[in-house]
Chains A and B, each alone.
Chain A
C-alpha cells in the first residue's frame, strides 16, 4: 500500500507545532497501525529525519497507552479497538491518513503525538480505589455474595483502560465516561460502598479542577471507547453525585 500521511509534528511542549505531509510505500494490509508507524519511522530515520514520537506499550489492547486521532476519530475508524489493534486493512491503497494527538487542555502535548494524560492519574488518586487492610486478616472477596447482574456491570465498568479516547472524542473534552467507569466499578460492589460518598465527590472535584469540559450527552465517547463503556455509567455517576452531595 502507498499512503500519504499528514502527521502533527511538535518538538516539545513549548513548540507551536504543525501538520506535516509524508509519503510512505510498502505498507502491508496485515500490519497494525503502530507497525505501519514503526516502518514509517525507520524509513524517516534512514533519510536522516527525526522519528515521530507516539505512545504505546502492550500492543494488545489492554494497557491503554496507545492513543492517536486518526482521520478524525480516536483510535481510528474501527470500532471497539485501540490504535494498536487497528489494522491497515481498514484503509485503501492511495489513502491520505491524518494523524493527530488527542486534543484537550487537560492533555497537553509533550512531543509530536504524545500527550500527558496524568490528569487521569490524579483523578484516580482522588478516590479511584478502596482502602483495604493488608495485615493478613483481609476477608476473601469471594466470601461476600454479590448479585450476578451487579458483578457483571462492575466488571464491564472495570474494563476501562484509561486511554482517554472518550476525552479526545468528546466535543467538550469531557472526562465523564472515564470517571463514571471508575466510580461505577466500585459503586456497584459492597466493598466500594463504604467510601462511595467521598469517592464520587472527590473524583468529580478533581475532574473539574483538571479543566475537562462539561458533558452534553452527545454519546460520542461510548461509540469511540475501545472497551464499549456504556453511557449508563455516566447516569449512575450523576445519581451517585447528587445523592452524595445531599448527604455530605
Chain B
C-alpha cells in the first residue's frame, strides 16, 4: 500500500494523535517533577532549571521538538474535529450523550482549546521573558535566579487562579486522553484495566500537583 494512503487514513490520524498526546504527557511528567522540587528545595530547583535552560541538547533539540509536538497535536486535533463535525451535517433534535459516554471524552476539543490558550499565557509569563533574558539581552548566567522568578509570578492571585482552572481542564483532557491513546495504538488486553487506573492516577496527580505548587508559592512567598 502506498505510504500516502496510510498517512491519509483515519486510523493513522488517530495513532498520530495518540503518539503526540503521549509525548506531551511525558513532557508534562518531567516538568511536574522539576517543579515539585521547588516546594522542597530552592537550590535543587535552581540547579535543575539552570541545567535545563542552558544545556544545548535541551535548548536546541528537545525544546523545538516539544514545540512542534504541541503544534502538531493542536492542528491534528482541529483537523479531526472539523472532519468529525462534517460527518454529521444535520444534528439530532434530542441527543443524550451522557447516557453512553463521559463528558471529558465528548469535549476534548474544548478542554484542548483551553489548554492551548493557557499555553499562550504560560509562554508569555515564562518562556518569552526567559528567551529575552538569555538570547536578546544576553544577561550573564545566574544560577540562583529561577526560584525567585517562579515565586514572584505566583504572587498574583489572578495568575494563580488562571493556572489552577487551566489545570483542572488539563486533568479532564488527560482523564480521557491517556486511555483513549492506548486504544488508538491498539493496546487493549488483560493489562488494560490496570493501565486505565494508572491513566486516571496520572490525570489527577499531575494537574492537581501543579495546582498545589502554584498555591504553595502563592501562600508562601
Residues of A within 8 A of B (CB): 6, 8, 19, 69, 71-73, 77, 98, 100, 103-106, 169, 171-174, 176, 201, 204-205, 207-208, 211-220, 223-224, 231-232, 234-239, 241-242, 244-245, 248
Contact = CB atoms under 8 A, between A and B. Distances in A.
B2 to A, nearest CB: 9
Contact of A214 (B84, B99, B100, B187): B84
Nearest to B93: A19
A241 B11 contact: yes
- How big is the B interface, by class? 35 or more
Q: Is the interface of A mostly helix, strand, loop or mixed?
A: mixed
Given A174-B87, A214-B80, A219-B101, A235 B95 contact: no
B14 A238 contact: yes
B87 A231 contact: no
Interface string B39-78: 0000000000000000000000000000000000000000
Contact of B187 (A98, A171, A235): A235
A171 B11 contact: no
18 contacts: A6-B93, A71-B94, A73-B99, A98-B93, A100-B92, A105-B86, A171-B97, A174-B84, A204-B11, A213-B10, A213-B86, A214-B84, A217-B180, A217-B183, A218-B100, A223-B99, A242-B15, A244-B1
A74 B1 CA distance: 36
Contacts of A205: 5, 9
Interface in B1-35: 1, 5-6, 8-15
Nearest to B108: A216
Given A98-B94, A241-B11, A242-B186, A217 B105 contact: yes
A71 B97 CA distance: 11
Interface string B174-217: 00100110011111100000000000000000000000000000
